[in-house]
């Protein structure tokens, strides 16, 4: 079925047209247009969008679609342009109107409608997610699946439809991390994962169908959708909930992770490499857009010219943390090694020290009340202290 229940959305769109208060003639025209779209091989998702926009157009038109004049169409387009709709929604409406009248054999009535993207409609860097904010969102998750979803969504830069339809068999681990196979607009492609691999591995270890390679990778683990493929709305709700919990003030949605990752990768990859990694058509202008948005190369060059920039390049904040004891790779937000329990930063090590001090204080308080209980507790506490000391003694410090 996929993460989008298109049959449900199509039925809903058709029902709204049947129940609309505009003329039956316009309804018949829209349904004939729908049939033609399917005959041309247009995707169900795109057909649903055309139906929705054509239905609203018919409602605003106040006359039959076939009998409308160019002046009638201009009046509706002007209404759309004056509205508070986003630039992209306005483009969708105008594209639907243009296609509708071209199909009706009246292209001259809509040739004046512009559907070009304005240059100032791309997101500015301040609207994108920083790597530090990504770490906060990952840390806000309270279970391995949710941490893995956020981490993979950013690390891969995938479209949510590509990631949401993955199966367990599409994940292959290797000596460097993992490679996933996704199916997108440009067909199947391999995507290298690095920083998200520890989170993904932790989720796979707990996956309810981990022994079934044909099972969907992202499934529900609650009472209502346990083991079933997550739908688009579930992904949408999850990232918004976690961003809010993490205190992120920006408008966070699934595709923002792709925008943010693309801008980050533009600092390191060539145009051809970005096309391959992110699934863009060869020759697309998208890489140049993100290279322009990052602007870091120009910033560094100007700062270096004035002696204000560091010579070395900053390391990505979302790099995995290798445990110095057992060499296990841990997620960027990890405080302790997931394999041996060693503290991975100075804060975690300090917390261990504090736990030891609290334990000793508790022992003294109990000993003052009952020496027998204190002796038994001291044995348990000694064993705990050995474990904590072992984790603390070789812990790494923050750099």
CA neighbor of 182 nearest in space, from 208, 203, 159: 159
Q: What is the number of alpha carbons within 13 Å of residue 172 lying toward its C-beta?
A: 9
d(CA 19, CA 17): 5
Domain ranges in the chain are: 6-121, 125-305, 343-393
Task: Judge whether residue 394 has pLDDT over 50.
Answer: no
What's the pLDDT band for 341 if we cut at 50, 70, 90?
Answer: confident
d(CA 308, CA 300): 9
Nearest 5°: CA angle at 161, between 157 and 167? 90
Determine if the pTM surpasses 0.85: no
How much is the CA Rg of the chain, to the nearest whole Å?
A: 28
Task: Judge whether residue 395 has pLDDT over 50.
Answer: no
- Distances 227 to 6, 172, 221 between C-alpha atoms, Å: 21, 21, 6
Between 37 and 3, residue with greater pLDDT? 37
d(CA 74, CA 77): 5
- Mind listing the pLDDT tens digit for each residue in 136-158? 999 999 999 999 999 999 999 99
- Mind listing the pLDDT tens digit for each residue in 272-313? 888 888 888 776 666 566 655 556 566 666 677 667 765 555
Average pLDDT of 106-121?
82
- Mind listing the pLDDT tens digit for each residue in 195-252? 899 999 999 999 999 999 999 999 998 777 788 999 999 999 999 999 999 999 999 9
Fold of 125-305: hpI Integrase; Chain A (1.10.443)
d(CA 248, CA 244): 6
* Assigned CATH for 6-121: 1.10.150
């Amino acid at each position: 079925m996929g993460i989008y229940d298109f049959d449900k959305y199509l039925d809903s769109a058709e029902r709204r047209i049947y129940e609309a208060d505009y003329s039956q003639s316009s309804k018949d025209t829209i349904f004939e247009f729908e049939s033609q779209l399917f005959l041309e091989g247009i995707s169900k998702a795109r057909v649903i969008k055309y139906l929705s926009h054509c239905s609203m157009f018919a409602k605003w038109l106040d006359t039959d679609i076939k009998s409308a004049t160019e002046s009638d169409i201009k009046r509706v387009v002007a209404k759309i342009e004056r509205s508070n709709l986003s630039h992209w929604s306005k483009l969708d409406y105008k594209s639907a109107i243009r296609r509708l009248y071209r199909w009706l054999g009246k292209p001259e009535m809509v040739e004046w409608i512009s559907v070009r993207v304005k240059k100032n409609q791309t997101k500015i860097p301040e609207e994108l997610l920083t790597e530090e904010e990504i770490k906060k969102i990952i840390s806000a998750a309270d279970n391995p699946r949710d941490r893995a979803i956020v981490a993979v969504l950013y690390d891969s830069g995938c479209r949510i439809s590509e990631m949401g339809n993955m199966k367990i068999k599409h994940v292959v681990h290797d000596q460097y991390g993992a490679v996933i196979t996704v199916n997108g607009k440009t067909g199947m492609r391999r995507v290298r994962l690095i920083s998200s691999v520890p989170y993904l591995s932790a989720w796979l270890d707990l996956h309810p169908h981990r022994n079934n390679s044909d099972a969907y990778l992202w499934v529900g683990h609650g009472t209502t959708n346990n083991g079933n493929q997550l739908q688009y709305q579930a992904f949408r709700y999850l990232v918004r909930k976690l961003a809010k919990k993490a205190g992120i003030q920006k408008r966070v949605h699934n595709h923002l992770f792709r925008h943010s990752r693309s801008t980050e990768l533009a600092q390191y990859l060539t145009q051809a490499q970005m096309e391959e990694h992110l699934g863009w058509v060869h020759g697309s202008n998208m890489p140049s857009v993100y290279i322009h948005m990052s602007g870091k190369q120009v910033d560094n060059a100007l700062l270096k010219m004035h002696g204000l920039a560091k010579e070395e390049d900053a390391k990505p904040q979302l790099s995995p943390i290798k445990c110095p004891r057992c060499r296990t790779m841990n997620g960027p937000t990890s405080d302790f090694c997931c394999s041996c329990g060693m503290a991975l930063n100075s804060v975690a090590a300090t917390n261990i020290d504090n736990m030891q001090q609290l334990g000793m204080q508790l022992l003294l308080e109990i000993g003052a009340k009952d020496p027998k209980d204190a002796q038994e507790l001291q044995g348990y506490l000694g064993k705990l202290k050995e474990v904590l000391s072992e984790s603390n003694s070789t812990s790494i410090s923050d750099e």
